[in-house]
Amino acid sequence: MLLTVATLFGAGTKEDASVIKIGVSMPTQSLQRWNQDGANMKSQLEAAGYKVDLQYAGDNDIPTQVAQLENMITTGCKALVIASIDGSALSEVLKQAKAKDIAVIAYDRLIMNTDAVTYYATFDNFKVGTIQGTYIRDALKLDSTPGPYYIELFTGSPDDNNINFFFGGAMSILEPYIKSGKLIVRSGQTTKAQVATLNWSTEEAQKRMENLITANNYGPKGNRLDAVYSSNDSIANGLTNALVAAGYTKDNFPIITGQDCDKPSVKNMIMGLQSMSIFKDTRTLASKVVEMVNSIVKGEKVDINDTETYNNGVKVVPSYLCDPVFATVDNYKALLIDSGYYTEADLKI
């Protein structure tokens, strides 16, 4: 049952719906997933009876996000839900939130180096990486065939703390095969710093993949490339662009992982140009955040399921982790269309 603000407090009370405002800060509208996250968060909070101040920080512009948060704080938001651009850039502005006893929920990206973060709501991001790594392991049959197989590695933006979990989870599966020689990274680029992609940029991923293709003579008629690990779909799209330009087709395409089930990537899966993508249903995460907000507003205990993992450099932030699942060409209809996340028309090629 959805608890509304009217249910919690009754009409006309001090904490009336008309005065309970929740600030929602999203990093950018240039990626499909953040548009969906923002829209789902706003609709579910409004359905619960709150007034919502939803702001997007330009195109990952940190000063814009800071200014928007300052405005949310000064205009009386009861709680802030923040998907940070740079997890370490909000310490100063959040001092203002703490001084006013405004609860701060870090949304999907942990906010670092501040004691002003009250809770963290996300998916199990280490598990995201292990699912991706396991998919590559099983698709290449690393435990039952001699190899070697050839792979390159891509993760996300170095200022996003989540890559420590995405990349760490994937490498917990893949690294033993790299060390044994069954998986070979021709480029030699295996560290997080070497394989990071600034701002999760499709264009930057494409440029690096093009450089790797040239430097290592990858191609259908050149050196083998069996798989490319990609932490998310915006990167995977850049990889696909470069690989298609190099002559790869659905019949010989390397295994490509992803995350977010963005429409272009789901279409690529249907066309045989991406192997899988992690599905993180933003409706599920939004529902959990609404539950957190309701508990905060009521002064009740907030439901969390992790009190050990997410240390932001100042404190271990109490967290709730939702379970990710993965989509392929075999199950995307049941997972994405039958559930109402997308329509058939959304994924028409």
pLDDT by residue (tens digit) across 197-227? Answer: 999 999 999 999 999 999 999 999 999 999 9
Minimal CA–CA distance to 279: which of 324, 247, 245, 215? 324
pTM to 2 decimal places: 0.84
Across 310-323, average pLDDT: 96
State the pLDDT at residue 33.
84
Minimal CA–CA distance to 136: which of 194, 178, 79? 178
Across 284-297, average pLDDT: 93
Only one residue has tokens 């200022």, namely 159
State the pLDDT at residue 31.
82
Contact between 326 and 278 under an 8 Å Cβ cutoff? The reply is yes
How far apart, in whole angstroms, are the C-alpha atoms of residue 20 and residue 88?
Answer: 28
For residue 2, pLDDT over 50 is answered with no
Structure tokens at 191: 């560290």
Neighbours of 74 (CB within 10 A): 10
Angle at 307 between CA 303 and CA 308, to 5 degrees: 160
Angle at 259 between CA 256 and CA 261, to 5 degrees: 100
For residue 305, pLDDT over 70 is answered with yes
Minimal CA–CA distance to 239: which of 270, 218, 260? 218
Structure tokens at 325: 């699942």
State the pLDDT at residue 1.
35
Write the burial class of residue 203 (CB in 10 Å: 0-12 exposed, 13-18 middle, 19+ buried).
middle
Percent of the chain scoring above 90 in pLDDT = 87
Given phi > 0 = left and psi -120 to 50 = alpha, else beta, which region is 324? beta
How far apart, in whole angstroms, are the C-alpha atoms of residue 336 and residue 161?
Answer: 27
Only one residue has tokens 């049952």, namely 1
Element (H, E) at 208: helix 202-216
Only one residue has tokens 């701002």, namely 199
Contact between 334 and 328 under an 8 Å Cβ cutoff? The reply is no
pLDDT band at 231 (very low <50, low <70, confident <90, very high): very high
Task: Determine the residue type at 329.
Answer: V
pLDDT band at 322 (very low <50, low <70, confident <90, very high): very high
Interval 250-273: pLDDT, tens: 999 999 999 999 999 999 999 999
For residue 229, pLDDT over 60 is answered with yes
Interval 156-170: pLDDT, tens: 999 898 999 999 999
State the pLDDT at residue 4.
42
Contact between 54 and 44 under an 8 Å Cβ cutoff? The reply is no
Angle at 269 between CA 263 and CA 271, to 5 degrees: 105
For residue 8, pLDDT over 70 is answered with no
State the pLDDT at residue 12.
36
State the pLDDT at residue 61.
92
State the pLDDT at residue 18.
52
Across 285-306, average pLDDT: 94
- What HEC string does 217-231 produce? CECCCCECCCEEEEC
Residues 6 or more apart from 69 whose CB is under 8 A from it?
A: 23, 25, 80, 82, 90, 93, 94, 97
pLDDT band at 244 (very low <50, low <70, confident <90, very high): very high
Positions of E strands within the chain: 21-26, 51-56, 77-82, 103-107, 119-123, 149-154, 183-184, 227-230, 255-256, 277-279, 319-322, 325-327
